[in-house]
Amino acid sequence: MRIPILKLGKYLLISIQVELDDQTAIQFQEDLLNRIHQEGSQGIVIDLTSVDMIDSYIAKVIGDVVKMSNLMGAKVVLTGIQPAVAITLVEMGVSLNEVHTALDLEQGLETLQQELEG
Amino acid sequence: MRTQPSVEVGTEWGIVSARQAGRELAKEVGFNNVDQARIATAISELARNIYLYTENGVIELEVVEKDALKGMKIIARDDGPGIENIRDVMEDGYSSSGGLGAGLPGVKRLLDEFDIESELGNGTVISTIKWLR
Amino acid sequence: MHSSVIDYIHQRKTHYITKWKEDLTQLVFQQEGLSDDLTEDITNEMIDLVFDGLFSEEHEQEERLRRFADRLSHYGLPLSDYIRGLQSMRQTVKSDLDAQYSEGQVAAFEAWLDELISKLVDAGAKTQERVIDLQNVALKEMSAPLIPVFDRISVMPLIGTIDTKRAQQIMENLLEGIIEFRTQVVLIDITGVPVVDTMVAQHIIKVSKAVGLVGSKCIIVGIRPEIAQTIVNLGIDLSKFSTTSNLKEGVETALAITQREITPLSTS
């Protein structure tokens, strides 16, 4: 299963709508990095509104994706993390340090704009 | 007391089916949204340990009642190599899989009761309970 | 207990009641603010409970004990006084029975009364448990509302002691409120939290991390001088978190984050 990556101007938009298994997560990591390379994207929004569970492994994959994208010169904003997901992550002691977040897609795009255009 | 059919964790898909079964049962028992996420996440961590370190293992789910309390019992059972240093794996930051190392201590924090028994060469049984608030 | 003993006690009922009531008025029922009628009423209920208890079915008796315990708790009357009352009843009846019946019969009566007392204690404990449950529910309901004050800015005042259970509840309320009101900045006001120890601080740190994950920012306001002192003395590091001493400054910071400010209207 592959997660679709949409292009919107200078940005890439990803809305994760499926239950994330390990294979899908890794595939997504590869796809996204290739796409950043192709498009020279500077900003990425990953929307997690439909994700109802993130365990430590998936959190690591997401954290890695953010770091790798940053290395390639693209800023990432995670949006729509559900309260229940946020609470479990914090209780487990998983912190997604220095990752930008926003409430929803709209505010995520605003955050990117502020970041990139100053 | 009712036992759900246990979920075999031999592949990565086993992890997904175990946590889906867990979430469904949690919903049925009456856990709220956040507790459902806690339970599903804990199962995911336990199932991943089985997948990573052993050939065979199961996640067993059970509805339990004690006095006026109702809860859900999650047992992870495998016949893997066993854990040599239980104290180490229960420490934050310890990881032998390259994950974030939040695995077992994280599971313990998400649930109410946590018990681990392991014998070298004979596998590990982790027994946990989440009580309905 | 032998039925002849029961009959005997029943025959002598009026005598016991008169005698017992004299003792009772000295022992108990001197709660302030209770009317004489009510006192009389509760006394009579207790007397009936004992004497009818000799003939009634077990489950019926339990139900009556439960109601009696509820009633005591409702008027704030201590159960111990009533147990002392029952002990005095034991004395009255026992001295009377001693003259008429064998030791065994008297012992049977005492055993029966002990059973009654322990049932009353049970009923009282259950009533207490129910009261505590209700209080917990009430506490849950009053725990920490999230109040939107400006567009995208909300305040959550915390009042009282924060334990783990309450911290979880607060976290859930807060995060769901953030989504509901699309809050970009939330001010957590801890002015009303009496003590901030390591555990409370850890709860606050967890809350602000979770707030960050859902895509909002958190400012902790209302840090009083003594709280600042304890936080530093305990070696708790809040430097990564935005904090202010009062709500007013917090609101200004929140407005700045959302790129707004309050300016006086120009007088023309």
Q: pLDDT digits over A47-65, tens only?
A: 999 999 999 889 989 999 9
**Same domain (yes/no): C165, C239:** yes
| More confident position, A23 or A97 | A23
How far apart are the CA of C27 and the nearest CA of chain A, in angstroms? 54
Residues C102 and C27 in one domain: yes
- At C186 the three-state DSSP class reads strand
Considering only residues 14 to 73 of chain B, which have any Cβ-Cβ distance to chain C shorter than 8 Å?
A: 32, 34
Q: Of C122, C141, C160, which residue is a domain's last?
A: C141
Per-residue b/e over C22-50, b at no fewer than 16 CB within 10 Å?
A: ebbeeebbeeeebeeeebeebbeebbebb
pLDDT average, residue stretch C248-262: 92
**Same domain (yes/no): C36, C155:** no
CB distance A81–C179 less than 8 Å? no
Q: What is the pLDDT of residue C42?
A: 78
C188 and C228 in a single domain? The answer is yes
Question: What percentage of residues in chain A have a pLDDT greater than 90?
Answer: 72
pLDDT reported for residue B98: 47
Q: Are residues C211 and C81 in the same domain?
A: no
ipTM of this predicted structure:
0.90
A103, C172: Cβ pair inside 8 Å? no
Are residues C108 and C198 located together in one domain of the fold? no
A59 touches C at CB < 8 Å = no
Is residue A53 within 8 Å of residue B40, measured between CB atoms?
yes
B129, B113 contact by CB (below 8 A): yes
Q: Which CATH superfamily is domain B2-131 in?
A: Histidine kinase-like ATPase, C-terminal domain (3.30.565.10)
Instruction: List all residues of chain B from 91 to 120 with a beta carbon under 8 Å from chain A.
Output: 92, 99-103, 105-107, 109-110
Please check the confidence at residue C31 and state whether its pLDDT lies above 60: no
Please provide the average confidence, as pLDDT, over all residues in chain C: 84
Chain B nearest CA to A66, separation (Å):
15
C183 to chain A: which residues are within 8 Å by CB? 103
Query: Which positions in chain C touch A53 (Cβ < 8 Å)?
Result: none
Residues A63-80: what's their mean pLDDT? Answer: 95
Quick: pLDDT tens for C179-214: 999 999 999 999 988 888 888 888 999 999 999 999
Task: Report the CATH number that the domain containing residue C108 is assigned in CATH.
Answer: 1.10.490.70
Instruction: Give all domains of chain A, ordered by start, each with its CATH number.
Output: 5-117 (3.30.750.24)
Considering the domain architecture, whether residues C152 and C125 belong to the same structural domain is answered as no
Q: Which residue of B has its CA nearest to A94?
A: B102
C207: closest CA among C192, C190, C224? C190
Q: Which chains pack against C, by 3+ Cβ pairs within 8 A? A: A, B
Alpha carbons C225 and C245: distance in angstroms, whole number: 8
Number of domains in chain C: 2
For chains B and C, count residue pairs whose Cβ atoms are closer than 8 Å.
3
Q: Look up the domain containing C196 and give its range.
A: 147-257
Residue B100 pLDDT: 46
- Residue C96 pLDDT: 82
Residues C7 and C124 in one domain: yes
Q: Which of C91, C120, C141 is the last residue of a domain?
A: C141
Instruction: Decide which of C82, C107, C141 is a domain's last residue.
Output: C141
* Residue C185: both structure tokens together: 């900045």
Max mean pLDDT among A71-85, C51-65, C129-143, C185-199 falls in A71-85
Q: Which residue of C has its CA nearest to B110?
A: C168
Task: Please report, rounded to a whole number, the percentage of residues in chain A having pLDDT higher than 70.
Answer: 100
The answer to whether the CB atoms of B16 and A88 lie below 8 A apart is no
Cα–Cα distance measured from residue C102 to residue C170, given in angstroms and rounded to the nearest whole number: 65
C111 and C178 in a common domain: no
Q: Do A83 and C184 touch (CB under 8 A)?
A: no
Average pLDDT of the residues of chain B: 86
CA distance B57 to B72: 19
C153 and C130 belong to one structural domain? no
Closest-CA residue of chain B to A58: B99
Please tell me which residue, C47 or B79, carries the higher pLDDT value: B79
Question: Of B60, B21, B45, which Cα lies nearest the Cα of B29?
Answer: B21
pLDDT band at B9 (very low <50, low <70, confident <90, very high): confident
Per-residue confidence (pLDDT) for residue C109, from 0 to 100: 82
Would you say residue C234 lies in a domain? yes
State whether C126 and C177 are in the same domain.
no
Q: How many CB atoms lie under 10 A from the CB of residue C114? A: 12
Residue C268 domain-assigned?
Answer: no
User: Do C125 and C201 belong together in one domain?
Assistant: no
